[in-house]
């Protein structure tokens, strides 16, 4: 995709997305403890491409973005908003003490040019905070749909930052987690062990091992969903802008209610014997539906505009 086409694709994609989004204050993001400290030391701040989910304090911070809906939300919170590409705005040399660039650099065809522009407008002794997805061998359909040009290798990113005049004082690589997929795998284990316990399937070995495996795989599956659930509740909320997103939101809202219902049924002797497998099947179906409408959809269906 040509550079101008990619810019337009990103603008159109995120305009559609942010039109239905809610403002999420930065103190509800994992970045906040560190960003709060940095911001207290910075009089002039700039954040590039945050959408409605900024990581730096909003009031008094300059924000550059392509999305009009996102900028409208941020302006209401006291941000100084600028619509367009960074080099078009024309900030003076050394204008900012703190610049935030979170999940943006991978969208930019000329990332070296952007980093040099950031080096120009960052004040001597100022700070640039950057986050990007890593490992090009993980590049997939979701990256293309999201408008990503690339993923980075750590050494590549370090070299480009150094070439733009930045001195690296902190660099962290966080491994990608597979919590959602692992939860679904464990849920499938739940289904198999339940079928063995009720003797719908008869595979070796015999004995009570399946009860223990069933209990512990269920606990592990629910624990693995907690970080994902926290992110969905506090970062995304209940959204309805497409049928898939609506179904995903409804299933997510029902998940922990189904967990509690199954536990209560398991601990009580007031229910018919068939109620427990129905409750377990419902919980499995919710987990599977969440996976189908999120991870599986992103990695197999989502495609970029041509």
Whether the predicted pLDDT of 2 surpasses 60: no
Whether the predicted pLDDT of 191 surpasses 60: yes
Whether the predicted pLDDT of 102 surpasses 90: yes
Mean per-residue pLDDT, 225-235: 72
Whole-prediction pTM value? 0.65
Whether the predicted pLDDT of 199 surpasses 60: yes
Tell me the DSSP string of the chain.
--HHHHHHHHHHHHHHHHTT-----GGGSTTHHHHHHHHHT-SSEEEES-TT--SS--TT-EEEES-HHHHHHHHHTT-EEEES-HHHH-PPTT-EEEEEEES-GGG-TTHHHHHHHHHHHEEEEEEEEEE--B-GGG--HHHHHHT----B-HHHHHHHHHHTTPPPS---------HHHHHHHHHHHHHHHHHHHTTSS--SPPSSHHHHHHHHHHHHHHHHHHHHHHHIIIII-S--SSHHHHHHHHHHHHHHHHHHHHHHHHH-SSS-TTHHHHHHHHHHHHHHHHHHTTHHHHHHT-----
Mean per-residue pLDDT, 112-128: 95
**Residue 303: what pLDDT?**
44
Confidence of residue 104 (pLDDT cuts 50, 70, 90): very high
Whether the predicted pLDDT of 298 surpasses 70: no
Judged by average pLDDT, the poorest of 37-41, 162-166, 225-229 is 225-229
205 preceded by a cis bond (ω within 30 of 0): yes
Residue 127's alpha-carbon distances to 35, 90, 188, 191, in angstroms, are 11, 19, 47, 51
**Residue 225: what pLDDT?**
77
Confidence of residue 183 (pLDDT cuts 50, 70, 90): low
**Residue 306: what pLDDT?**
39
Residue 81's alpha-carbon distances to 115, 245, 289, in angstroms, are 20, 29, 39
**Residue 288: what pLDDT?**
85
**Given CA atoms 42, 44, 47, 51 in this order, what sign does their dihedral have?**
positive
**Residue 180: what pLDDT?**
58
**Residue 159: what pLDDT?**
94
Write the pLDDT tens digit of every residue in 161-177.
999 999 988 877 665 54
């Amino acid at each position: 995709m040509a550079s101008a086409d990619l810019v337009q694709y990103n603008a159109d994609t995120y305009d559609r997305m942010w039109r239905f989004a809610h403002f999420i204050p930065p103190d509800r993001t994992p970045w906040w403890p560190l960003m709060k400290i940095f911001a207290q030391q910075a009089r002039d701040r700039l954040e590039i491409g945050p959408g409605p989910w900024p990581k730096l304090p909003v009031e008094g911070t300059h924000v550059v973005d392509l999305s009009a809906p996102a900028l409208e939300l941020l302006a209401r919170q006291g941000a100084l908003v600028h619509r367009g590409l960074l080099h078009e705005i024309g900030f003076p040399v050394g204008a900012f003490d703190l610049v935030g660039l979170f999940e943006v650099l991978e969208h930019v065809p000329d990332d070296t040019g952007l980093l040099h522009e950031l080096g120009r407008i960052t004040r001597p002794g100022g700070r640039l905070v950057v986050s990007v997805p890593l490992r090009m061998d993980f590049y997939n359909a979701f990256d293309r749909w999201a408008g990503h040009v690339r993923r980075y290798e750590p050494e590549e990113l370090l070299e480009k930052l150094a070439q733009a005049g930045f001195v690296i004082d902190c660099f962290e690589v966080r491994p990608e987690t597979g919590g959602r997929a692992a939860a679904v795998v464990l849920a499938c284990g739940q289904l198999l062990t339940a079928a063995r316990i009720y003797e719908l399937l008869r595979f070796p070995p015999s004995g009570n091992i399946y009860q223990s495996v069933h209990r512990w795989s269920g606990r592990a599956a629910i624990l693995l969903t907690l970080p994902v659930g926290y992110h969905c509740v506090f970062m995304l909320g209940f959204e309805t802008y497409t049928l898939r997103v609506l179904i995903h939101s409804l299933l997510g809202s029902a998940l922990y209610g189904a967990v509690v219902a199954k536990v209560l049924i398991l601990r009580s002797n007031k229910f018919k014997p068939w109620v427990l497998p129905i409750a377990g099947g419902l919980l499995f179906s919710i987990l599977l539906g969440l996976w189908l409408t999120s991870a599986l959809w992103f990695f197999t269906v989502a495609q970029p505009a041509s």
